[in-house]
Amino acid sequence: MLTSVKIQNGSGNSIDLAIDSFDNGYLLKNITGLDPVKASIVSTTIAQRDGAAYQTSRVDARNIIITLGYIPNYVTTSVQSLRGLLYVYAMPKTYVTLTFYIDYQPYATIGAYVESLETELFASDPEVTISLLAFEPYFKAYS
**From the CB of residue 44, how many other CB atoms can be counted at a distance below 10 Å?**
8
- Quick one: the chain helix, strand, coil %, rounded to 5? 10, 50, 40
- Say if CB 7 and CB 89 are below 8 A apart: yes
Q: pLDDT tens digits for 106-123?
A: 789 999 999 999 998 788
Cα–Cα distance, 99 to 57 (Å, whole number): 28
What's the pTM value of the predicted model, to 2 decimals? 0.88
- Say if CB 111 and CB 96 are below 8 A apart: yes
Query: What is the rounded end-to-end Cα distance, in angstroms, of the chain?
Result: 16
Q: pLDDT tens digits for 25-74?
A: 999 999 999 999 999 999 999 888 899 999 999 999 999 999 999 999 88
Amino acid present at 14? S
Indicate the helix (H) or strand (E) that contains 53. strand 53-59
Q: pLDDT tens digits for 85-104?
A: 999 999 999 999 999 998 86
- CA R_g for the chain: 19
Pure H helices in 41-122: 79-89
Counting runs of H as helices and runs of E as strands, what totals does the chain give?
1, 10
